[in-house]
Amino acid sequence: MTPSLLPVGAPRRIGFISTRFHGTDGVTLETRKWAQILEGMGHSSYWMAGLLDAPPQASYEAPLAFFNHPEVAAVQEKLFGVATRTRETTQQIFALKERLKDDLYRFIAKFNLEVLVPENILAIPMHVPLGLAMTEVIAETGLPVIAHHHDFSWERERFTLNAVNDYLQAAFPPLLFRMEHVVINSMAQKELARRYGIASQIIPNILDFETPPPGIDAYNADLRREIGLREDDVFVLQPTRVVARKGIEHAIELVRRLDDPRVKLVISHPAGDEGGGYIQMLRERIEDARITVLFIADRVGETRGRDALGRKIYTLADVYPHADLVTYPSHYEGFGNAFLEAVYFRKPVVVNMYTVYARDIDPLGFKTIGMTQLVTNDVIAQTREVLANAALRADWAGTNFELGLKYFSYAVARRKLAARLANLYGEGV
């Protein structure tokens, strides 16, 4: 990574806090990028979560902070889909909150933290006691805070009917002294201001466009064969979790309508935590469409290695170079990591015009195969043209990569994070 040339003030000890920093979910990935950037600016990063794979010497694991901790899950299931809660439930929430506050204070003391970065825990109420605990610790300590908000409660239908609106108003998010709020898209910025009167800055999701993407090497050269593809197959990659908002049924329909037995859909991630009905629906769609769909989540991990059967484990960076086309037909996204990945690896992409994409990304001039909830004849015709025309693919790839470098690179986040710290500490940028 290119060293920072910005005046960034004194080095700070920065504590990242969330329910989990583990795996490849969007919050974990973006937080790691922020930490890498901040460390490049001379700061130190420390980690607290219920599920952690950060360096042990810089970590504080608090099992109760994980949203799937049994005690937390038992309380959370009483809070949504209903309009009221019992007094006993309120007491349970406050008991958990107090235990979590103890963890937060221990984390702060252990690493002598100077800045706190709550990652999404003050935005989406997946863990109400943790959000309340975080809010009270900020109010009590007065420590500078950069609150990084990825998803809000009003963006998820399952949180609409709830018994904790008093807590949502107080802590999701709170408005406190020496607190910078960061959102990832312009819609969130506008809604946060409208609903809560809270000003925020946009730092979009990013990728290290300054570093060229890896390609096919000796380790990943056999990936197609290992996952069951022939060299002449058309590899259509769906690089997302299997959850309803990802719109994977549109990718299935696209492959069906291309009507070419060489075209195979490959889904790289596992099912999410939103129930099993969606995956069952997809399997029925696949059977009806009579196409080949490969689920390869068991062969994709964070690092290269071997599984229990001795088979190779590949990373997403191993998978992308082999893809001929990326599908990203999401109904809703807070931003769009998979879109940036497709651009970074110079792959053509079919993208549904979800609202954030339509407002914040598409106007920048990216060249894509766009769809609006329907796989139309035009979408099929464009897809066939792109797959058949190498010169067109190269032109799109070059244009898109340069736009990614301009708008969504580490350099963008580096400038904006330096400004957030400068605001908190009264330093010049």
Q: What is the mean pLDDT of residues 50-72?
A: 97
Q: What is the pLDDT of residues 323-347, one digit of tens each?
A: 999 999 999 898 989 999 999 999 9
For the chain, the maximum distance between any two Cα atoms, rounded to a whole number of angstroms, is 66
For residue 44, count other CB atoms closer than 10 A to its CB: 17
Q: What is the mean pLDDT of residues 113-128?
A: 98
Is residue 178 located within the same domain as residue 317?
no
Q: What is the mean pLDDT of residues 45-62?
A: 97
Q: For residues 112 and 251, what is the distance between their CA atoms, to the nearest angstrom?
A: 49
Q: What is the pLDDT of residues 158-167, one digit of tens each?
A: 999 999 999 9
422: exposed, middle or buried (Cβ count in 10 Å: 0-12, 13-18, 19+): middle
Position 427 scores a pLDDT of: 66
User: Per the domain annotation, does 2 fall within a domain?
Assistant: no
- Domain of residue 17: give its range: 13-206+409-425
Residue scoring higher pLDDT (191 or 270): 191
User: Per the domain annotation, does 8 fall within a domain?
Assistant: no
Is residue 365 located within the same domain as residue 383?
yes
Is residue 246 located within the same domain as residue 388?
yes
Tokens at residue 10, please?
Answer: 């004194």
User: For the residues of 286-311, what is the DSSP string, one character each?
Assistant: HHHHT--EEE-GGGB-SS-EE-TTS-
Is residue 252 located within the same domain as residue 393?
yes
User: Per the domain annotation, does 215 fall within a domain?
Assistant: no
Q: What is the pLDDT of residues 174-195, one digit of tens each?
A: 999 999 999 999 999 999 999 9
pLDDT tier, 276 (very low <50, low <70, confident <90, very high otherwise): confident
Position 4 scores a pLDDT of: 47
pLDDT tier, 1 (very low <50, low <70, confident <90, very high otherwise): very low
Is residue 185 located within the same domain as residue 278?
no
Q: What is the mean pLDDT of residues 208-214?
A: 95
Is residue 247 located within the same domain as residue 353?
yes
Domain count, the chain: 2
Q: What is the pLDDT of residues 22-41, one digit of tens each?
A: 987 889 999 999 999 999 99
Q: What is the mean pLDDT of residues 228-239?
A: 96
User: Per the domain annotation, does 1 fall within a domain?
Assistant: no
Is residue 193 located within the same domain as residue 258?
no
Terminal-to-terminal C-alpha distance of the chain: 20
Q: For residues 101 and 134, what is the distance between their CA atoms, to the nearest angstrom?
A: 7
User: Per the domain annotation, does 216 fall within a domain?
Assistant: no
Q: Residue 21 half-sphere exposure, CB side, CA atoms within 13 Å?
A: 28
User: Per the domain annotation, does 163 fall within a domain?
Assistant: yes
Closest CA to 205 of 321, 320, 361, 331: 361
User: Per the domain annotation, does 183 fall within a domain?
Assistant: yes
Position 23 scores a pLDDT of: 81
pLDDT tier, 293 (very low <50, low <70, confident <90, very high otherwise): very high
Position 7 scores a pLDDT of: 52
Position 26 scores a pLDDT of: 85
User: Per the domain annotation, does 6 fall within a domain?
Assistant: no
Position 3 scores a pLDDT of: 47
For residue 312, count other CB atoms closer than 10 A to its CB: 17
Least confident segment among 4-8, 25-29, 194-198, 407-411: 4-8
Q: For residues 343 and 255, what is the distance between their CA atoms, to the nearest angstrom?
A: 21
User: For the residues of 20-85, what is the DSSP string, one character each?
Assistant: EE-TT-HHHHHHHHHHHHHHHTT-EEEEEESEE-S-GGGEEE-GGGSTTSHHHHHHHTTTBSSS--
Is residue 270 located within the same domain as residue 199?
no
Question: Can you tell me which residue has the tokens 């690092």?
Answer: 303
Is residue 229 located within the same domain as residue 115?
no
Q: What is the mean pLDDT of residues 246-260?
A: 97
Is residue 154 located within the same domain as residue 194?
yes
Is residue 230 located within the same domain as residue 198?
no
What is the percentage of the chain residues whose pLDDT exceeds 70?
97
Average pLDDT, the chain: 94
Supply the CATH number for residue 365's domain.
3.40.50.2000
Is residue 50 located within the same domain as residue 85?
yes
Residue 260 has pLDDT above 70, yes or no: yes
Residue 84 has pLDDT above 50, yes or no: yes
